[in-house]
Structure 1
Amino acid sequence: MSLLKNINKTSRQISKSSEDYVDATKEYIELKTFQQLSIAFSLLFKSFIIGSLLFVSFIVLIIEGVLICIDLFNNVHYALLFISGILFVITLLVYIYRKPLIESRVIKMVSKTFFSKS
């Protein structure tokens, strides 16, 4: 009879330990999900703010560049064409080098936060 009591007691302990493990795992997953969502939203918000300011600055820089080119070329059309060409070349370079410039950096940043133990 003692053997059956020991088996019963051990099985209850195993059952309790399993429930504790499942509860701890569930809590960890919830916390990790919250961490990743908060990091993603803060990154998105910061990117929006910084991107908006950079966009306005870029527009002012383009306008100033056009005004300088108008003085240089003495023609509005040539100035606009020159600035458009420069923007096209910059866009083409960013597109060509998008993987090392953008994609790999984003993947490294996300993987650091996603796979961190804290």
Structure 2
Amino acid sequence: MTVFESLNRTTDKATEKAEKYIKTSQEYFRLKVFQQITLSLSLILKLVIIGGLAMLSIVFIAVSAAIAIGEALGNMPVGYLIVGGIFLTIAVIAYFIRHLIDKKIITSISDKFFD
């Protein structure tokens, strides 16, 4: 066996190993992309379902609270104004703590994405 044949055989083995590595890496990345897509779609679907039901219940609770406050005060529009003021206060508080909310969401999603 000559040096050239040995070098040629070694080069062929290296090429085979590199092709196998590339093929395995492609399969891994396809699985990783599939995992991320399914996790994202699952998260969005859960958010839509739970968020929709939560919003519906908040609307019913708000209307009930406004009616109860209005009857207790003897003036229905004041009850609705009080409930509206409560929602406005919550919105202002959420606006001022939006950076904390962003940070929480980013860390939660990054933990799942870079898992």
TM-score where L is the length of structure 1: 0.91
Which string of whole-angstrom CA distances, capped at 9 and with x for unpartnered residues, describes residues 49-96 of structure 1?
111110111011001111111112211221111111110000111121
Q: Deviation of residue 46 (structure 1)?
A: 0.8
* Residues matched between the structures, number: 115
The farther-off stretch of 84-93 and 66-75 is 66-75
- Give 4+ residue runs of structure 1 displaced > 6 Å after superposition: none
Which has the bigger relative contact order, CA under 8 A and spacing at least 6? 1
Q: Give 2:109's aligned residue.
A: 110
Distance 1:106 1:27 in 2: 30
* Mapping of residues 1-80 of structure 1, within 5 Å: 2-80=2-80
Where does structure 2 lack aligned partners over 5 or more consecutive residues? none
Q: Give 2:89's aligned residue.
A: 89
Distance 2:72 2:93 in 1: 26
Q: Deviation of residue 43 (structure 1)?
A: 0.6
Distance 1:33 1:103 in 2: 24
Say whether the 8 Å CA contact 2:67–2:80 is kept in structure 1: no
RMSD: 1.2
Which string of whole-angstrom CA distances, capped at 9 and with x for unpartnered residues, describes residues 21-51 of structure 1?
1111111111000000100001111111111
Distance 1:41 1:65 in 2: 35
Identity %: 28
Distance 2:23 2:42 in 1: 29
The secondary structure found in structure 2 opposite 1:56 is helix
